[in-house]
Amino acid sequence: MRVLVDWVANHVHEEHAYAANTDWFNSELICQGDVWNTAPEVCWFDSFLPDIRYYDEDPLVQMVNDAVAFAKDYEIDGYRVDAVKHMPHSVYFNLQSKVVAEIEHRAAGGDEEFYTVGETFSGERGLIGSYVNDQELDAQFDFSMYWAILSAFARGESSLPQLDAEREASASAYSGYLMSTFLGNHDVDRFITHAAGQVGSLYGDGICGSDGRLRSPATPPGWGEPYERLMLAWTYLLTNEGLPLIYYGDEIGLEGFGDPDNRHMMRFDGELGADEQRVLSHVSALGQARRAHPALAIGQRTGWWSEDDVLGWARVYEGDEALVIVNRSGSERTLTNGLSFAGLTAGATFEDVLTGATVTASGDSISVTVPARGSVVLVKR
């Protein structure tokens, strides 16, 4: 197991020892309205969170030194870097150079890479990617893909080819870097609550209702379709590029509106409903398959089928072969197509990692039946 921890370096609490160094901080300017975007590197998240003035050398050196010392002392394997766009590039240049010299370099005893993945809450790939390079962060969370997956699977507002076009845009924008993909985090409404039709906007409805009061806690959907949509999304996420993040509870379909309602207590074992258990089993099977079959994580990807509600793709890596199909429609579909054009072996037998069922090709052609609102993940036997 490798352990990453959250590095929140944009600010300190007003009672932190460093707050006594008043010249280390920007003048108070609360991040509200468009200030989040017009003055991201100097605004304060709140009046009790002094924003660090990283254009001064002393706080920059101290905070980076602290981060590297903590990583070394506790032998952690990486950082999730909070609020990336709210700190200047110099922070990441200095962090990366010190990580390379003191953690990763063999002369310092390093034998594996230290992974830094940033959080920039934005769908602008240019902005997100500007911090991802060999001198700064290793990766960032791919918010563009998050919203694309949410739109296609949870809300049904875009087609599957449109979703795949977004995947291709991310693959092109971040080529060579292992971005992190996800279905939820602590800042957004839960996927299952979107899928149940309880959230009005793709980007969330805010923490308060029209009356200005905190929303009542979300409740679990009372029918199966939202969970089927979630399983489709997990199939897509766990068989494509990137380093998947599972925000606790999304592996069962835990409900929730925006923060703080997206932090319900986790449910386990006998507390799970039948649909929640079904999602958990699905995610578990996909995770084990991704580990056992490198094609699902890093294989060459070729499109195999493309309709508004049905999407198929092949993945191949050094003899490991997979064919994945998701069917968003309400009807079972049987699809027939070739193999060799997608790099798959003619005449091969494939096993579905989700059900154990097998399908054998007839020469260079294969027919696959995909259940309504279901998926198949076929790997070559």
Cα(269)–Cα(272) distance, rounded to whole angstroms? 6
Residues 6+ apart with CB under 8 A from 361: 339, 345, 346, 347, 348, 349, 350
Where in the chain is CATH 3.20.20.80?
4-295
- Identify the pLDDT of residue 107: 59
Where in the chain is CATH 2.60.40.1180?
299-380
4-295 belongs to which CATH class? alpha beta
* Residue-level pLDDT, tens digit, the chain, 381 residues: 899 999 999 999 999 999 999 999 999 999 999 999 999 999 999 999 999 999 999 999 999 999 999 999 999 999 999 999 999 999 999 999 999 999 997 656 666 799 999 999 999 999 999 999 999 999 999 999 999 999 999 999 999 999 999 999 999 999 999 999 999 999 999 999 999 999 999 999 887 777 878 888 999 999 999 999 999 999 999 999 999 999 999 999 999 999 999 999 999 999 999 999 999 999 999 999 999 999 999 999 999 999 999 999 999 999 999 999 999 999 999 999 999 999 999 999 999 999 999 999 999 999 999 999 999 999 999
Task: Please say whether the beta carbons of 150 and 202 come within 8 A.
Answer: yes
299-380 belongs to which CATH class? mainly beta
pLDDT tens, position by position, 193-204: 999 999 999 999
- Identify the pLDDT of residue 213: 82
Tokens of 186: 């602590």
- Identify the pLDDT of residue 151: 99
- Identify the pLDDT of residue 211: 82
- Identify the pLDDT of residue 357: 98
Task: Please say whether the beta carbons of 238 and 183 come within 8 A.
Answer: no
**Residue indicated by tokens 């929303």:** 215
pLDDT tens, position by position, 279-315: 999 999 999 999 999 999 999 999 999 999 999 999 9
Task: Please say whether the beta carbons of 242 and 142 come within 8 A.
Answer: yes
- Identify the pLDDT of residue 108: 63
